[in-house]
A and B are shown apart, each in its own frame.
Chain A
Amino acid sequence: DQQVKQNSPSLSVQEGRISILNCDYTNSMFDYFLWYKKYPAEGPTFLISISSIKDKNEDGRFTVFLNKSAKHLSLHIVPSQPGDSAVYFCAATVYNNNDMRFGAGTRLTVKP
């Protein structure tokens, strides 16, 4: 039962360009969404989140967009840097539950 889906296993972009990572969810009860970044041999680290009452949240080079009607969210990284190369996980939860469900991840490679 995969409630959170990241259909692109990998993405490669040139340094300085925009990276767009996508995530879809099926459970309409989800109302809070998070992005995590994971480097090899480390645990995931929190990047940015968005509540369902918003459609956009921005933090520096990172912006998350939420389209509730499409059950879709995306993470934009502008400009992309080689240090952004990592696996990015989308996670979703119900606000009062705090039970996070993760997508399979997208491996981002930013080429110098």
Chain B
Amino acid sequence: EAEVAQSPRYKITEKSQAVAFWCDPISGHATLYWYRQILGQGPELLVQFQDESVVDDSQLPKDRFSAERLKGVDSTLKIQPAELGDSAMYLCASSFRTGGVTEAFFGQGTRLTVV
């Protein structure tokens, strides 16, 4: 069964260090999302790609976060420098969009702990 792959599963980093997460969406899925989920809250959209283009990054803290999807397939989310408040689950999701809405499929996430 096709699934969204994310790595690493867990990451512990010191504050002020750089950290990167990788996501490989389901083959053929044009839309890719990065969400951040803080414990006890729902996923918060950070950035949405349609193929290689950013559709929505209004919630992305651009002073420290960056995201790219160069070839319109896999994607990388980077944080530099990491802060204590960045500790959260980072979820990648993808959907096959032919127009309108289709449900998104999520990866297992990367649990980030900043110490």
Q: Which one of B31, B56, B100 has the greatest number of beta carbons of chain A within 10 Å?
A: B100
Known: A34-B103, A99-B48. A44 touches B95 (CB 8 A): no
Chain B residue numbers with a CB within 8 Å of A100 are: 33, 45, 104
The A-B contact count (CB < 8 A) is 59
| Interface size classification for chain A | 20 to 34
On chain B, which size bracket covers the interface? Answer: 20 to 34
- B85 within 8 Å of A (CB atoms): no
Q: Which of B80-113 contact A (CB under 8 A)?
A: 91, 93, 95, 97, 99-109
Closest 10 CB pairs of A and B: A43-B106, A102-B42, A46-B103, A104-B42, A102-B43, A32-B101, A44-B106, A103-B42, A43-B108, A104-B41
Which positions in A face B, CB cutoff 8 Å?
Answer: 4, 6, 9, 32, 34, 36, 41-46, 49, 89, 93, 95-96, 98-105
